[in-house]
A = this chain, B = another copy of it.
Amino acid sequence: MSSEKKISQSVIRRLPRYYRYLKDLLDKDTERVSSRELSEMMHITASQVRQDFNCFGGFGQQGYGYSVKALYDEIEEILGVTDRFKLIIIGAGNIGTALSKHDNLKKSGFDIIAIFDHKESIFGKKINGIEIRDINKLEEYLTENKVDIAVLAVPYNQANELAKIVTELGIKAIWNFSPGDLHVPQDVVIENVHLVDSLMVLGYNLNENKKNVD
């Protein structure tokens, strides 16, 4: 469990942003970009960009900046999206349904291969071509199919029980939309999308901004 050079999560969190900005540059047929140009687009410092890239060997800036295509490919490789990830969604409610229909996930390397729910009346139905299955058949499904990531789109009071089930069945990554923190073994990675928390931070910052203007 020890890594030779541990890269900080704040650097890792910037990788998808670099990737997006580089995609935009590619779409505009831009061939080269300097760390200064990237930093200005992204509202961070050029030295931050160079430090971030040094974590991955520096990507060999030569002459005038980086090759956009080469940099894009390297970051894509680091993010691992070229190999594609297989996802299952637990919970066919509003959020689960929206995610199943969200084509940006597929475009970005993430394939939702099944949806699980406990509601018998919807078993066999499909959302965006993806079948809704019986949560009680999850173990059987995971024996027969390689799954990388479980998406938890269930109410708060069911989240930890389901996290326990999926991790006991060997899932090592959870994308959690339930409004709580999950308790899982150390070798399981979690990414929370806490919608209400995010909105509360926005509300707080709005009120603070108003106070400062008044």
Inter-chain contact A201/B195, CB cutoff 8 Å: no
Determine whether A149 belongs to the interface, using a CB cutoff of 8 Å to chain B: yes
Surface stretch bound by B, among A31-39, A95-103, A131-139: A95-103
A residues 81-109 in Cβ contact with B at 8 Å: 81, 85, 94-95, 97-99, 101-102, 104-105, 108-109
A205 CB–B CB distance under 8 Å: yes
Q: Could you say how many copies of this chain the assembly holds? A: 2
Instruction: Give A16 to B198 CA distance when docked, in angstroms.
Output: 8
Is A123 an interface residue, CB under 8 A from the partner? no
Q: Is A173 a contact partner of B205 (Cβ separation < 8 A)? A: yes
Minimum C-beta distance from A62 to chain B (A): 26
Q: How far is the CA of A195 from the CA of B78 in the complex (A)?
A: 18
Residue count of chain A within 8 Å CB distance of chain B: 63
The reply to whether A200 and B101 contact each other, CB–CB distance below 8 Å, is: no
B79 close to A173 (CB less than 8 A)? no
Interface of A is mostly: helix
Cβ of A212 < 8 Å from any Cβ of B? Answer: yes
Contact code string A56-95 (vs B, CB < 8 Å = 1, else 0):
0000000000000000000000111100010000000011
Closest residue to A43 on the B side, CB-wise? B181
* Contact with A179, one of B94, B101, B104, B148 (Cβ below 8 angstroms): B104
User: What is the bound-complex CA distance between A13 and B196, given in angstroms?
Assistant: 11
Q: Do the beta carbons of A172 and B15 come within 8 Å of each other?
A: no
Measured in the bound complex, the distance between the Cα atoms of B109 and A42 in whole Å is: 32
Q: Are B206 and A189 interface neighbours, CB within 8 A? A: yes
In the assembled complex, which residues on chain B have CB atoms less than 8 Å from the CB atom of A122? none
| Minimum C-beta distance from A158 to chain B (A) | 14
Q: Point out the residue from B20, B98, B148, B205 that lies within 8 Å of A94, measured CB to CB.
A: B98
Query: By the criterion CB–CB under 8 Å, are B203 and A79 in contact?
Result: yes
Min CB distance A56 to B, Å, is: 11
Say whether B17 contacts A210, CB under 8 Å.
Answer: no
Known: A3-B211, A85-B199, A105-B199. 20 other contacts (CB 8 A): A3-B208, A12-B204, A13-B201, A15-B201, A20-B179, A20-B180, A79-B204, A94-B97, A95-B102, A97-B98, A98-B98, A99-B195, A148-B206, A173-B206, A187-B209, A191-B198, A191-B201, A191-B205, A193-B193, A193-B195
